[in-house]
Amino acid sequence: MNVLSYAAESGTAPLKPYTLQRRAPRADDVVIEVLYCGVCHTDIHQTRDHSGFSRFPMVPGHEVVGRVVRVGSGVTRFKAGDSVGVGCMVDSCQHCTACAHGLEQHCEEVPTFTYGSTDRQDKTVTQGGYSQQMVVSDKFVLTLPAGLDLAGAAPLLCAGISTWSPLHHWNIGAGSRVAVIGLGGLGHMALKLAKALGADVTLFTRTAGKEDDGRRLGADHIVFSNDAAQMAAVKNQFDLIIDTVPYAHDVNPYMGTLANSGTLVLVGYFGPLEPPVMAGPLIMGRKAVAGSFIGGIAETQEMLNFCGKHNITSDVEIINIQDIN
């Protein structure tokens, strides 16, 4: 079926109106009218071909909130009119060890991403949520809790789950001490979620003027990471540090702020760490540097349910798709 969308035709072309051919719904498919789609930094990386493997024409968008229009004959979990979400994945092999444990994002045969991947069945290129409608397998469609602001819920499908997953994996709760590096899209969600889980929350920032926003979003404490005295004052404190910085940076100053057996987890950067991490502080305090990548479907639904219970959404600015460039 023909669907209006916005697409980039090359790594240097602006996004422009594009007629997209969506597949005819399969028995397990859900047809979704897109209401809101978050603008993730990944959309910029992909449409500008920063990694060198983008596929054009490309319809970006993997933070999708919409309304079910119709469902395939085999679908029982959804019906027309339901409010639903679609995140970064629309399929996986569903039989490897990772998939069997609900870790579809770590599928050993590589997950099918919402755009720029190859559909496992018909071999077409997947296209994302900068479009009027999507057709997605029901296994990768998420239920949105009633009452949750739909626009604010959209970035939960990437920024939200990217920060929820490490909080969940490292068992953060009442009495935990958590720090967040950076107050961007991921950082502000990390603050909100860690605070709602009952943790004592610190924001690391290098920029003056973010204190009020940091506290409003859930930070109990603000530490300027370029102030040696402030960094010394939080030595050996944190059980978990969520590092949201999206570019090469020195993590060594933060290692001294971890408690024994604490972990600094990278969620915003995929490249080499520069300079290298010093091994001494890791060994002497049984500390760790780890990484985390979005989350599985069951974990994402758990995050959405938690956000519904605590009325947590992202802070958003709404634009028209015509203004996307």
Domain ranges of the chain: 2-158+313-323, 160-291
DSSP annotation of 13 reads: S
DSSP state string for 17-82: EEEEEPPPP-TTEEEEEEEEE---HHHHHHHTTTTS---SSB-----EEEEEEEE-TT--S--TT-
DSSP β-ladder status, 200-205 and 221-224: parallel
pLDDT in tens, 176-205: 999 999 999 999 999 999 999 999 999 999
Give pLDDT, residue 248.
94
Q: What is the pLDDT of residues 146-170, one digit of tens each?
A: 999 999 999 999 999 999 999 999 9
Per CATH, the number for 160-291 is 3.40.50.720
Predicted pLDDT of residue 105: 98
Provide the pLDDT for residue 288: 98
Note the pLDDT of residue 234. Answer: 98
pLDDT at 281: 92
Chain-centroid distance of CA 104 in Å reads 14
Pair 71, 29: CB distance under 8 Å: yes
**Mean per-residue pLDDT, 122-149:** 98
pLDDT of 164: 98
3-state secondary structure of 264: strand
Q: Residue 126 has what pLDDT?
A: 98
**What is the distance between the alpha carbons of residues 316 and 314, in angstroms, rounded to a whole number?**
6
Cβ-count burial 238-273 (b if 16+ within 10 Å, e if not) = bbbbbbbbbeebebeebbbbbbeebbbbbbbbeeee
- What residue has token string 């050996």? 236
**Among 3.90.180.10, 1.10.3450.40, 3.40.190.10, 3.20.20.70, what is the CATH number of 2-158+313-323?**
3.90.180.10
Quick: pLDDT tens for 70-126: 999 999 999 999 999 999 999 999 999 999 999 999 999 999 999 999 999 999 999
pLDDT at 139: 98
Query: What are the structure tokens assigned to 308, written together?
Result: 């519904």
Give the model's pLDDT for residue 148: 97
Check residue 202 and give its pLDDT: 98
Q: At what angle do helices 159-169 and 297-310 cross, to 10 degrees?
A: 100
Percent of the chain with pLDDT over 90: 99
Distance between CA atoms of residues 103 and 243, nearest Å: 21
Is residue 267 a contact partner of residue 241, using CB atoms and an 8 Å limit? no
Which pLDDT belongs to residue 107?
98
pLDDT value at residue 225 = 97
Looking at the chain, the whole-number percentage of residues with pLDDT higher than 70 is 100
Rg, Å, the chain Cα set: 20
The per-residue pLDDT for range 300-320, each reduced to its tens digit, is 999 999 999 999 999 999 999
Q: Which of 222, 213, 170 is nearest to 192 (CA)?
A: 213
Q: Residue 52, exposed/middle/buried by CB under 10 A (0-12, 13-18, 19+)?
A: exposed
Mean pLDDT for 27-49 is 97
Rounded to 10°, the helix 185-196/159-169 angle is: 40
Taking a C-beta distance cutoff of 8 angstroms, is the pair 154, 63 a contact? Answer: yes
pLDDT value for 43? 97
Host H or E run for residue 152: helix 150-153
